[in-house]
Amino acid sequence: MSSYTVAIPATTGNLGPGFDCLGAALSLYNVFEFAIAPELKLTASGPYADKVAKNKNNLIYQSFERVFEQIQQPKPIISLHMDVQVPLARGLGSSATAIVGGMIGANLLAGSPLSDQEVLQLAIEMEGHPDNVAPAMLGGCQLVASGSDGGWEMCAIDWHQDLAVAVAIPDMELSTVKARQVLPKEVPMKDAVFNASHLALLTQALVNANPSWLSSALQDKLHQPYRQNLIPHMETVQKAAIAAGAYGVVISGAGPTLLALGNPAKIELIMSAMCDTWQGSGVNAIGKCLAIANDGAKVKSS
């Protein structure tokens, strides 16, 4: 085949206590169309089309090139069309969609010399953090840990069907680099123990959709206390979501998007409460109720 369409889901990383190791795929997709072409051409559509580079500095294209470096083959000339539905620098894994999408597209056009596991490991190496890349490619909720062989181990966490997701996306960008700069290099032992216990509880709370467990398990002491000052009115928005019935509210990835978990019957009310509270504080925000994308990356040949 000389052309492929690859759809990659947005992701939410950390989910509170799962800093850099837990993430879930969401039902919001960036779609990339790769085709052999006489000259390099990058085009874009979608609400965030003006935010992506249309040249060789594009992250999707750089990820495409990385695969051909890895397999030591000359890269083909391509056209790449990007339907950009995932906002950039908002904590929804836009860079993971680019890296995973670019690498899958390259591997397909090369005749699939790399296994899915090899593509995944290469994508994590390029991204630097596995909590977005793993669910973007594999789908669902993924717990990732470093393996004894230097690679990564993936563990799928079942997500109960009665556990719904709402995100509130403020009209502001927050780079991962900036969000990491505020984190301490060391934390107290009690905070490390706190997060270990709450992450363990969260893995079971997601399976059972246990409201009491979730309200406790979504707490964190490794990153959110240090990042909340980067997100205007975060505490006020959290309180509004809880009052509307949310089990808990966390920073999605590095932020500034906030993500709430709740009962499906209340999730639209929760979403509206978050957005309305931000609007009332002078911050424009877009709300979405999203499902867990269990399929991960989707491929279609043409």
The domain 164-290 is placed in CATH, from the list 3.60.130.10, 3.40.50.20, 3.40.50.2300, 3.30.70.890, at 3.30.70.890
Q: pLDDT tens, 111-148?
A: 999 999 999 999 999 998 899 999 999 999 999 998 88
Report how far residue 144's alpha carbon sits from residue 239's, in angstroms, rounded to the nearest whole number.
30
φ/ψ of residue 185, rounded to 5: -80, -25
Q: For the chain, 302 residues long, give each residue's pLDDT as a single digit of tens.
A: 689 999 999 999 999 999 999 999 999 999 999 999 999 999 999 999 999 999 999 999 999 999 999 999 999 999 999 999 999 999 999 999 999 999 999 999 999 999 999 999 999 999 988 999 999 999 999 999 988 888 889 999 999 999 999 999 999 988 888 989 999 999 999 999 999 999 999 999 999 999 999 999 999 999 999 999 999 999 999 999 999 999 999 999 999 999 999 999 999 999 999 999 999 999 999 999 999 999 999 999 87
The whole-number pLDDT of residue 147 equals 84
Q: Which of 163, 150, 127, 198 is nearest to 24 (CA)?
A: 163
Q: Are 130 and 151 in contact (CB under 8 A)?
A: no
The whole-number pLDDT of residue 1 equals 62
The whole-number pLDDT of residue 150 equals 80
The whole-number pLDDT of residue 279 equals 96
Q: Which of 238, 235, 226 is nearest to 179 (CA)?
A: 226
The whole-number pLDDT of residue 128 equals 87
Burial of 288 (0-12, 13-18, 19+ CB in 10 A): middle
The CATH fold assigned to 3-157+292-301 is: Ribosomal Protein S5; domain 2 (3.30.230)
Q: E strands of 140-284, at which residues?
A: 141-146, 152-157, 164-170, 248-251, 258-262
Reduce the DSSP state of residue 166 to 3 states and report it: strand
- DSSP state string for 258-302: EEEEE-TTTHHHHHHHHHHHHHHTT--EEEEEE-B-TT-SEEEE-
Amino acid occupying residue 274: M
Give pTM, 2 decimals.
Answer: 0.94
Q: pLDDT tens, 229-271?
A: 999 999 999 999 999 999 999 999 999 999 999 999 999 999 9
Q: Are 292 and 23 in contact (CB under 8 A)?
A: no
- Whole-number Cα distances in Å, 251 to 97, 145, 153: 19, 21, 24
**What residue segments make up the domains of the chain, in order of their start?**
3-157+292-301, 164-290
